[in-house]
Amino acid sequence: MTAAAEPIVEAAIVEHRRGFRRRWYRTPSFVAGISILGAVTLLGALAPVVMWHDPIQQNLLASLQGPSWSHPLGTDQLGRDVLSRVVYGVRTDLKIAVLAVLIPFCVGTVIGLVSGYFGGWVDSIAGWAVSVVVAFPFYVLIIALVFALGSGTRNIYIAIALVGWVSYTRIVRGEVLVAKRREYILAARAAGLSNLRIIGRHLFPNVITQAIVFSMSDIVLSILAIVTLGYLGLGVQPPTPDWGRMIADGQPFLTTRWELATFPGFAVILTALALSLIADGLADLLRPE
Amino acid sequence: MSLAAYVARRLLQMVLVVFGVTILVFFLIHLVPGDPARTMLGVRATPERVKLLHEQWGLNKPLPVQYERFMERLVRGNLGNSLFYSVPAGRLVLDRLPVTLWLIGLGALFSVLIAVPLATIAAAKREGVPDHAIRVVPLVGLGFPSFWIGIMLLLAFALNSGRLFPVGGYGSGFVGHLHSMFLPALTVALGLVPILVRSLRASLLEVFEADYITTARSKGLPERRVLIRHGLRNAIISTISVLAVSIGFLVGGTLIIEQVYALPGIGQLMINSILARDFPVVQAVALVFAVMVVLVYLISDIVHAALDPRVRFD
Amino acid sequence: MNEPILKVRDLHVEFPLARGLVRAVDGASFDVIRGEALGLVGESGSGKTMALRALVGLLPRQANLAGGEILFEGVDLARASTDNLREIRGRQVAMIFQEPLTALNPVMRVGDQIAEGPLVRLGYHRRRARERALELMGHVGIPDPVRRYQAYPHELSGGMQQRVVIAIALSLEPKLILCDEPTTALDVTIQDQILKLLESLRSELHMSVVFVSHDLAVVAQTCQTVAVMYAGQVVETGPIEAVFQEPRHPYTLSLLRSVPDFDVVRETLATIPGSPPDLAAPPAGCRFHPRCPFVQPDCTTGDFPLRPLGGDRATACIHSELAVDDVRREPVIAGG
């Protein structure tokens, strides 16, 4: 922050003190994001009720049909209703993405807390592990892991966990390094509180906000990873609807039925947009000053 | 410390990281429960073949010994033989590497050509209409799956009415390569542009609104000199860091793009080897990818240190 | 003679925030006498920094000059074109900043930064500009200038960095130097050195200075006249000894009383009750009235511009005699 901006920041600090609870509804990005995500999730949750076709029911006689009243987005190569499959995709891809982020969040945060707070050789080893994982391009590692473990939903969770913890560790460690020099931590140590208590009660609540903001973007990354794996045939296995798989299935028919490959993509983009908006909104709301 | 000492230190760090990378790559096979040899051979497993692999790879020996032998062969440049093609895995990789390098190079070029002007305009006219419009790009763009972008580009420019580009393949000759690589490189670039624009804009803003810019203005220097002599030099430094990380992403992204456009690069090699359960090749490709990324980071760190006098004082 | 080199009249600076328009400077007027130092004092948020930056059009991006006159040697800077302003910056009016490290370009050698002004604005060629820079470095007390010329800002201590900033300000031989809390970020011992340096440069080079600070002691040490700011307005001006000995505004008095004095042992530190007003929604009438110990009914409505009192003094308070009585009973500065 430049010295010139300080008077302006001081004036704005009065504004920020009002707190998260009273401000969340006035942050447009957050509101927009939550609304879109809410709508998408609701649609996915209500899919069995709202969609009039079974997403996995094949009807080879009616394959590759264009949009119609009965099938607003047409049917795919196995005669399945595209709209149903796209909507049901929420239940697969979004759900897996959210769950898949939980483990790296927890593991990465713990490692970040410990290595940031204690430093020393613990920190060095953790740092080295981070460098090694980071050396691999994200998708190369994910794909290699899924390859080694085999495809399928369970192994997606494992692969994402093994690769995703790194970001949380970096973020939390960074925050801890700054926070542990702050006075309230020094005071706690001077008072003789145990390390565990300091980390758990004093450090954790203050460093976790950046990790939470990041987790929203991380869910987007997860969705993309799951969808990419699906495209390559290494992800969620058929017949469960998966947007990536749908795009791959639709690619040979681009010249005739371009909807097959396009609409699942829109679903991904929309869901990701909602999450990005939430991430931006959270970043504004949870800003430390 | 001097630049030379810094470079030496970074090289040492890189060696350690590559060392860690080899451990990870080595263990890839051993993640799978059961007999690695049997897993490797899959349907081709016969008792004789399994026994042969056991001897070749020393799979009955304890892990550290195996790793030692792995490293011994690695250091001599032997990445093992492809189970599928019966040629050294290293040679397969080398054959296909140029295609991927083309994709990386051209893709990086396109992303810079697109992202830098966008970010500069957004930062220079902050909060103006162009800025708000450009900021939509990272917001919406991050959600675009890269392979989907590729497919859409194919739809628009290679199929149906717009047959401007080939649907896939590598082409021949320099111009042929360029022609075939155009859409794939553009796809890679478009996947990268959202992240780049966001980071570049933030770095540029920091530079444009820095106090030393005010100092320069307070000397009454012409605005052009302020922006170029004071702003640009600092901006380039932050840009390099951002670009390096992006190239890290980019390298990984080529894997999928090669699938979409059927490009015979090492990415496609990896996927095919995965589907064919050709472990040695998968290992070889993973290793090469990691080394490429580490090299990119190393080069960017060195360039950064050369340009920024603050860095050496670690 | 003692003609003001700078006459500021009714300056207004504002910037928009989500909750409303903040009037950081809302009608400030003061004069700077040629060859003298004016101290612009006030708490954080009083508008003193904004007022200073507005003088040469170096306000932060979000803020803008919303009215008033800035007469520098007869030219109204508030209405000057960008080119004219740029012409005046550096050559006529220079600035010194609070945070020396961020004020210097991190990737440029300090010597080059000092030499840049003469190089570009005075048309010196490289060698002459370099010599001038070395000369200036010596002048501001940087030891071993030849070696220090090559240094980068982060390689220097805070005090050295600030000397470099001062050297840059002097490099184009300006007539007026604007200092924005130049010693606040420095250690106390270094503060003293820098202040002495500024004072000696001022008297030696016959420069005029505007010295912004929240620290009354610092201002007392270096300035001849003082302008006290509160909530975006100048509430009192005058020669420094006179104002500090016998303030004519309750705020000035309260400010003086709240400064700890080593010579007088008190049980409690005096503070001014309440807090500065929200500049987006200031109180009606005199802005200080909610916290004023001498508040009267007619203080709560109307405008209170500076009124001259004779003897180069001026105050915005319409009941200034109350403050004067109070300080006569209980002087702030024993003996004067």
Q: What is the DSSP string of C147-167?
A: HHHT--GGGS-HHHHHHHHHH
Answer whether residue C335 shows pLDDT above 60: no
* Three-class secondary structure of residue B88 per DSSP: strand
The fraction of chain B above a pLDDT of 90, given in percent, is 12
Q: Does C102 touch chain B (CB under 8 A)?
A: yes
**What is the arithmetic mean of pLDDT over C78-99?**
89
pLDDT single digits (tens) B177-205: 888 888 899 999 999 899 888 888 888 88
- Residue A204: both structure tokens together: 């954790």
Asked whether the beta carbons of residue C60 and residue A12 sit closer than 8 angstroms, the reply is: no
Answer whether residue B314 shows pLDDT above 70: no
Asked whether the beta carbons of residue A131 and residue B24 sit closer than 8 angstroms, the reply is: no
- Give the model's pLDDT for residue A15: 39
**What is the pTM for the complete model shown?**
0.76
Q: B84: exposed, middle or buried (C-beta count within 10 Å: 0-12, 13-18, 19+)? A: middle
Q: Of C82, C94, C88, whose CA–CA distance to C53 is shortest?
A: C94
Axis-axis angle for helices A204-232, A259-285 (nearest 10): 170
Asked whether the beta carbons of residue B234 and residue C107 sit closer than 8 angstroms, the reply is: yes
Answer whether residue A21 shows pLDDT above 80: no
- What distance in Å separates residue B220's CA from the closest CA in chain C? 5
Asked whether the beta carbons of residue A11 and residue C63 sit closer than 8 angstroms, the reply is: no
Cα(C128)–Cα(C118) distance, rounded to whole angstroms?
A: 9
Asked whether the beta carbons of residue B271 and residue A232 sit closer than 8 angstroms, the reply is: yes
- Confidence band for A55, pLDDT divided at 50, 70 and 90: confident
- Give the model's pLDDT for residue A11: 47
- Confidence band for A134, pLDDT divided at 50, 70 and 90: confident
Considering chain B, what is the average pLDDT of its residues? 82
- Confidence band for C257, pLDDT divided at 50, 70 and 90: confident
Contacts of C200 (CB under 8 A, 6+ apart): none
Q: Does C15 touch chain A (CB under 8 A)?
A: yes
Decide if B218 contacts B87 (C-beta within 8 A): no
Decide if B11 contacts B298 (C-beta within 8 A): yes
Answer whether residue A227 shows pLDDT above 90: yes
- What distance in Å separates residue B139's CA from the closest CA in chain A? 6
- Give the model's pLDDT for residue A243: 92
Q: Of C313, C269, C320, C272, whose CA–CA distance to C294 is shortest?
A: C320
**What is the arithmetic mean of pLDDT over C83-103?**
90
CA distances from A213 to A94, A161, A197, B144, B145 (A): 18, 18, 24, 20, 21
Chain B hits for A269, CB-CB cut-off 8 Å, are 140, 143-144
- Give the model's pLDDT for residue C261: 65
- Confidence band for A12, pLDDT divided at 50, 70 and 90: very low
Chain A hits for C19, CB-CB cut-off 8 Å, are 15
> C229 pairs with which residues across the strands?
C234
Say which of C15, C58, C103 has its CB closest to residue A8.
Answer: C15
- What distance in Å separates residue B212's CA from the closest CA in chain C? 4
Answer whether residue A14 shows pLDDT above 50: no
- What distance in Å separates residue A181's CA from the closest CA in chain B? 19
Residues making up chain C, counted from first to last: 336
> C238 pairs with which residues across the strands?
C226
**What is the arithmetic mean of pLDDT over C213-230?**
90
- Give the model's pLDDT for residue C301: 85
Chain A hits for C98, CB-CB cut-off 8 Å, are 3
Chain C hits for A9, CB-CB cut-off 8 Å, are none
pLDDT single digits (tens) B9-39: 888 888 888 888 878 877 776 666 566 666 6
The fraction of chain A above a pLDDT of 90, given in percent, is 18
- Confidence band for C162, pLDDT divided at 50, 70 and 90: very high
> C93 pairs with which residues across the strands?
C89, C176
Chain A hits for B13, CB-CB cut-off 8 Å, are 131
- Give the model's pLDDT for residue C224: 92
The number of helix segments (H) and strand segments (E) in chain A equals 14, 0
- Give the model's pLDDT for residue B90: 83
Asked whether the beta carbons of residue C102 and residue A3 sit closer than 8 angstroms, the reply is: yes
pLDDT single digits (tens) B252-301: 888 889 988 888 899 888 888 877 777 778 888 888 888 888 888 888 88
Amino acid at the residue B214 = T
Mutation for B interface: A30, A134, A136, A262, most B CBs within 10 A: A136
Amino acid at the residue C63 = A
Chain C hits for B219, CB-CB cut-off 8 Å, are 89-90, 94, 116-117, 120-121, 168, 171-172
Compute how many other C-beta atoms are within 10 angstroms of the C-beta atom of residue B294. Answer: 22
Asked whether the beta carbons of residue A5 and residue B209 sit closer than 8 angstroms, the reply is: yes
Chain A hits for C97, CB-CB cut-off 8 Å, are 3
Answer whether residue C9 shows pLDDT above 70: yes
Asked whether the beta carbons of residue C44 and residue A10 sit closer than 8 angstroms, the reply is: yes
Q: Could you give the dihedral angle defined by the CA atoms of residues C85, C90, C95 and C101, in that order, rounded to the nearest 10 degrees?
A: 120
- Confidence band for C168, pLDDT divided at 50, 70 and 90: very high
- Confidence band for A4, pLDDT divided at 50, 70 and 90: low
Answer whether residue B211 shows pLDDT above 60: yes
* Three-class secondary structure of residue C38 per DSSP: strand
Residues making up chain A, counted from first to last: 289
Q: Does C172 touch chain B (CB under 8 A)?
A: yes
Decide if C173 contacts C93 (C-beta within 8 A): no
Q: Of A126, A121, A116, whose CA–CA distance to A178 is shortest?
A: A116
Q: In what order do the strands lie in the sheet with C225-230?
A: C93-96, C176-180, C208-213, C37-41, C225-230, C233-239, C313-315, C307-310
Q: Where is average pLDDT lowest: A111-115, B53-57, C74-78?
A: B53-57
Asked whether the beta carbons of residue B145 and residue A270 sit closer than 8 angstroms, the reply is: no
- Could you tell me which chain B residue has the CA closest to the CA of C96? B215
Q: Does C98 touch chain A (CB under 8 A)?
A: yes
- Give the model's pLDDT for residue B165: 74
- What distance in Å separates residue C90's CA from the closest CA in chain B? 4
Interface of C with A in 238-297 (CB under 8 A): 278-280
Confidence check on the interface: ipTM exceeds 0.95, yes or no? no
Q: Where is average pLDDT lowest: B227-241, B256-270, C265-279?
A: C265-279
Chain A hits for B20, CB-CB cut-off 8 Å, are 128-129, 131-132, 135
* Chains with at least 3 CB pairs less than 8 angstroms from chain A: B, C
- Residue B55: both structure tokens together: 């001897």
- Residue A42: both structure tokens together: 């609701």
Asked whether the beta carbons of residue C90 and residue B230 sit closer than 8 angstroms, the reply is: no
pLDDT single digits (tens) C287-300: 888 888 888 888 88
Answer whether residue C127 shows pLDDT above 90: yes
> B271 pairs with which residues across the strands?
none
- Give the model's pLDDT for residue A289: 39
pLDDT single digits (tens) A229-287: 999 888 888 888 899 999 999 888 888 888 888 999 999 999 999 999 988 888 877 76
The number of helix segments (H) and strand segments (E) in chain B equals 13, 0
**What is the arithmetic mean of pLDDT over C304-326?**
86
**What is the arithmetic mean of pLDDT over A77-104?**
89
Q: Does C97 touch chain B (CB under 8 A)?
A: yes
pLDDT top residue among C312 and C226: C226
- Could you tell me which chain B residue has the CA closest to the CA of A222? B143
- Could you tell me which chain A residue has the CA closest to the CA of B145? A224
Strand pairing category for C75-76 and C93-96: unpaired
Answer whether residue A104 shows pLDDT above 90: yes
- Give the model's pLDDT for residue C265: 62
Compute how many other C-beta atoms are within 10 angstroms of the C-beta atom of residue B41. Answer: 18
Q: How far apart are the first and last CA of chain A?
A: 12
* Three-class secondary structure of residue C177 per DSSP: strand
Answer whether residue A17 shows pLDDT above 70: no
* Three-class secondary structure of residue C26 per DSSP: strand
Asked whether the beta carbons of residue A7 and residue C62 sit closer than 8 angstroms, the reply is: no
CA angle B15, B21, B23 (to 5 degrees): 110
- What distance in Å separates residue C94's CA from the closest CA in chain B? 6
Cα(C211)–Cα(A238) distance, rounded to whole angstroms?
A: 75
pLDDT top residue among B83 and C329: C329
Buried b (16+ CB within 10 A) or exposed e, B180-205: bbbbbbbbbbbbbbbbbbbbbbebbb
Answer whether residue A13 shows pLDDT above 90: no
| DSSP secondary structure of C229-258 | EETTEEEEEEEHHHHHHS-SSHHHHHHHHT
Say which of A3, A7, A14 has its CB closest to residue C50.
Answer: A7
Considering chain C, what is the average pLDDT of its residues? 87
Residue A100 CA to chain centroid, in angstroms?
Answer: 8
* Chains with at least 3 CB pairs less than 8 angstroms from chain B: A, C
- What distance in Å separates residue A44's CA from the closest CA in chain C? 37
Answer whether residue A9 shows pLDDT above 60: no
**What is the arithmetic mean of pLDDT over C197-209?**
89
Query: Could you check whether the bond before residue A28 is cis, i.e. omega within 30 degrees of 0?
Result: no
- Residue C245: both structure tokens together: 């000995």
- Give the model's pLDDT for residue A10: 46
Mutation for C interface: B131, B219, B221, most C CBs within 10 A: B219
Q: Does C86 touch chain B (CB under 8 A)?
A: yes
Q: B67: exposed, middle or buried (C-beta count within 10 Å: 0-12, 13-18, 19+)? A: middle
